[in-house]
Amino acid sequence: MKDLKHYRAAITIFTILFMAMNFFIGNLPSFILSFLFIFLLLTVRTLVVPSERKIKAYLIVAYAGIAVIQLVICVLITFGHHHTSIEFYFCKFFSVVTLLCPFVIERFVTINRYAKFYLPSAEELATVSFSEMKRSRNKIINALESLERAGKSFSIENLTEITEDLPRHNSFEYISKESLPDGYFDSAYASMGDPHLYIIISNTGSAASEIISTFTQKQYNHASLSFDYDLETIISYNGGEHVYTPGLNHEMIAYFNKKEEASIIVYALACSAEQKKMIIDKVREINDDGSAYNMLGLVLKYSHKSNIMFCSQFVYKMLQLAGLAYFQKKEEEVKPTDLVELDYYRKLQFAYEIHLKNASETRCPLC
């Protein structure tokens, strides 16, 4: 255990020095060398620490995936665009913070594991209860299952898709404008007779959704809004599916059908015609002014401009605007599942669920 404490202290000092150096005098080569050095350091440590081969393999894959993401962010975003000085230092700070990511994984997988599951002495073994052994076994199994899911999420295919899509995004300027045609608003205003707003959470299977689920541990990682029951007016902030510009977009249910267990759940929220009109008017204003998908905001919980948002942030902001928000939280911190899990006052009414692969539905008629 003393060696563990010394290792923690050395790594803490080492990381602080690395972060300070890169923030104040770092350039692209220094960041790249830092990412690669940390990857090699943790890879070597993983190989020499006694552990199952499966855990070692998953850890090394995780470290490699993080290093790739760090390099992509640093090359394409931090040093890839001409920012103002404030934006540049903001991006630089974000790249510095990402240096901590592999250490966080090691802390919760490797260090925790050996701090809690060391081999007991013969005297301690005599006092270990069956329930304690069962709890330890369950923790190990859960950790392995989490690593297996993380390995699938950080697959080469997913990382390649995200890497190729990054240049299309901008978290500082509006890049999408008038993405919704006038015909959309005709349909939206035609829904004024329906006394409900519809909140949709989806399990899409997209590359971004799969990676987000690794950190949130949630199955549903996308939220949308519709003004009608049949979802003809469904909208949200998204990446545009390589067809439209990332930002506010009209969504198609077919876009959600990307894996075997893809599904959506639709909830109805009672509202007045005035409240619905207020939201539609605001959507029209965003459509006219411009928007962008807040990819950095998923991590930094910050929006550079009012119309730069991610999906659940957009849905919650519209609810706040119309006085329909049924829980209190900073809009940049709202996760898609919060829209359901934080409904303590039961404002939402289940409408229906669609399993997209087999086209099956479970419907509940609205009262």
CA atoms of 126 and 66, how far apart (whole Å):
42
- Listing DSSP states for 153-186 in one string gives HT-HHHHHHHHHHGGG--SSS--B-S-S-HHHHH
Q: Give CA torsion, residues 98, 99, 101, 107, to 10 deg.
A: -150
Determine the 3-state secondary structure of 292 from DSSP: strand
Structure tokens at 140: 């190990």
pLDDT, averaged per 10 consecutive residues of the chain (367 residues), comes to 51 63 71 82 79 81 86 78 67 80 74 47 52 60 57 61 76 93 95 97 74 67 95 94 90 76 91 97 97 85 91 97 96 94 96 80 65
Predicted local confidence at residue 184, as pLDDT: 96
CA atoms of 117 and 124, how far apart (whole Å):
13
Predicted local confidence at residue 121, as pLDDT: 52
Which pairs with CB-CB distance under 8 Å and at least 24 residues apart come from 55-62?
Answer: 55/109, 55/113, 55/143, 55/144, 55/147, 58/147, 58/148, 58/150, 58/151, 59/105, 59/106, 59/109, 59/110, 59/147, 61/151, 61/154, 62/102, 62/105, 62/147, 62/150, 62/151, 62/154
Predicted local confidence at residue 291, as pLDDT: 97
Predicted local confidence at residue 336, as pLDDT: 93
Neighbours of 24 (CB within 10 A): 9
Q: State the number of CA atoms in the 13 A half-sphere of 274 facing the CB.
A: 1
**pTM for this structure?**
0.63
Predicted local confidence at residue 17, as pLDDT: 64
Predicted local confidence at residue 118, as pLDDT: 44
Specify whether the CB–CB gap between 188 and 227 falls below 8 A.
yes
Predicted local confidence at residue 14, as pLDDT: 58
CA atoms of 34 and 25, how far apart (whole Å):
13
